[in-house]
């Protein structure tokens, strides 16, 4: 079965409407297609679904599910940020993804740009990138205490600006221990981890998220790996290398 469960529409920061995305998914030959717009984050409204639009989103996708049921199996998911204020109900699945750290009353984004990433390390972690990564992975490991999630989204997004180990060493024992502990803590609650091709397809990374050692570790410990495009346009749906 061909599927892509991590994609965005105009309900959050995607360029295309849900209907345009579904039509592109049919053209791409998918059997199952999931829309997973960003959950509402009160501290940053620039990219997420607007406050109070969950019901409209669910109802709209529900209509489209019916309309296209003979051509494709459409699912309505959500990409839930850990720091969202609450978990809305009624979705077919939930992708748990961290895009922010919580530093006191601030929620700095880890995926904005390299300058901001380095500034977070200096402002809040005394330039200790490993402490910053430990904070990220420890929070990620706490998901099951807060929300039911079905898929772990881009586990290693924290490495977005670390291509070629330019800021920290991804083989450093502190980094390796941090992500391995998180995978082990998550696995009893959520089996599915995605290999995320979003930044790879946008030409921002040379590899998708979840390095090969991470994929191997997940599989060796009983997890499941799925591939997703994290598409924000109708041109990359189902594109996995
Ligand atoms: Zn994401
Ligand atoms: Zn996404």
The ranges assigned to domains in the chain are 1-96, 98-226
Q: What is the mean pLDDT of residues 186-203?
A: 97
Is residue 78 scored above 80 in pLDDT?
yes
* Cα dist from 140 to 70, 78, 130, 178, whole Å: 38, 17, 15, 10
Instruction: Give the model's pLDDT for residue 73.
Output: 98
- The percentage of the chain sitting over the pLDDT mark of 90, rounded to a whole number, equals 96
Q: What does the alpha-carbon distance between residue 218 and residue 225 come to, in Å, rounded to a whole number?
A: 8
Fold of the CATH domain 1-96: TIM Barrel (3.20.20)
Q: Can you list the alpha helix ranges (DSSP code H) found in 6-103?
A: 18-27, 54-67
Which option is the CATH number for 98-226: 2.60.120.330, 3.90.1150.10, 2.30.30.100, 3.20.20.140?
A: 3.20.20.140
Coil, helix or strand at residue 24: helix
Q: Which of the four pLDDT bands, split at 50, 70 and 90, describes residue 85?
A: confident
Task: Give the tokens for residue 38.
Answer: 């960003």
Q: What does the alpha-carbon distance between residue 144 and residue 142 come to, in Å, rounded to a whole number?
A: 6
Query: How far, in Å, from the CA of 202 to the mean position of ligand 2?
Result: 13
Is residue 232 scored above 80 in pLDDT?
yes
H helix or E strand, kind and range, residue 76: strand 73-81
Q: What is the mean pLDDT of residues 111-134?
A: 98
Query: How far, in Å, from the CA of 79 to the mean position of ligand 2?
Result: 6
Looking at all shown ligands, the one closest to residue 6's CA atom is 2
Query: How far, in Å, from the CA of 60 to the mean position of ligand 1?
Result: 22
- Output the pTM of the full model: 0.97
Instruction: Give the model's pLDDT for residue 102.
Output: 96
Sign of CA dihedral 161, 163, 168, 170: positive
Query: How far, in Å, from the CA of 77 to the mean position of ligand 1?
Result: 13
Residue pLDDT, tens place only, 30-60: 999 999 999 999 999 999 999 889 999 999 9
Does 1-96 match 98-226 in CATH topology? yes
Query: How far, in Å, from the CA of 237 to the mean position of ligand 1?
Result: 15
Q: What is the mean pLDDT of residues 189-195?
A: 98
- 35 backbone dihedrals φ, ψ, rounded to 5°: -100, 135
């Amino acid at each position: 079965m061909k599927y892509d469960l991590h994609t965005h529409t105009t309900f959050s920061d995607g360029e295309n409407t849900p209907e345009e995305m579904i039509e592109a998914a049919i053209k791409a030959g998918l059997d199952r297609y999931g829309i997973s717009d960003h959950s509402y984050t009160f501290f940053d409204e620039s990219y997420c679904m607007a406050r109070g639009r969950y019901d409209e989103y669910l109802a709209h996708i529900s209509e489209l599910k019916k309309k296209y049921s003979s051509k494709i199996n459409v699912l309505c998911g959500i990409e839930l940020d850990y720091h969202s204020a609450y978990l809305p109900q009624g979705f077919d699945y939930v992708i748990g993804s961290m895009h922010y750290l919580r530093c006191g009353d601030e929620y700095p984004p880890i995926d904005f740009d390299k300058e901001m990433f380095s500034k977070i390390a200096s402002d809040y972690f005394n330039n200790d990138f490993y402490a910053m990564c430990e904070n990220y992975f420890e929070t990620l490991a706490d998901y099951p205490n807060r929300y039911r999630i079905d898929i772990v989204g881009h586990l290693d997004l924290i490495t977005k600006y670390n291509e070629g180990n330019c800021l920290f060493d991804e083989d450093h024992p502190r980094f390796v221990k941090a992500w391995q502990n998180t995978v082990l803590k998550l696995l009893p609650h959520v089996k599915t981890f995605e290999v995320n091709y979003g930044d790879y397809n946008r030409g921002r990374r040379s590899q998708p998220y979840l390095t090969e050692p991470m994929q191997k570790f997940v599989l060796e410990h009983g997890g499941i790996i799925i591939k997703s495009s994290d598409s924000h346009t109708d041109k990359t749906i189902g594109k996995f290398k």
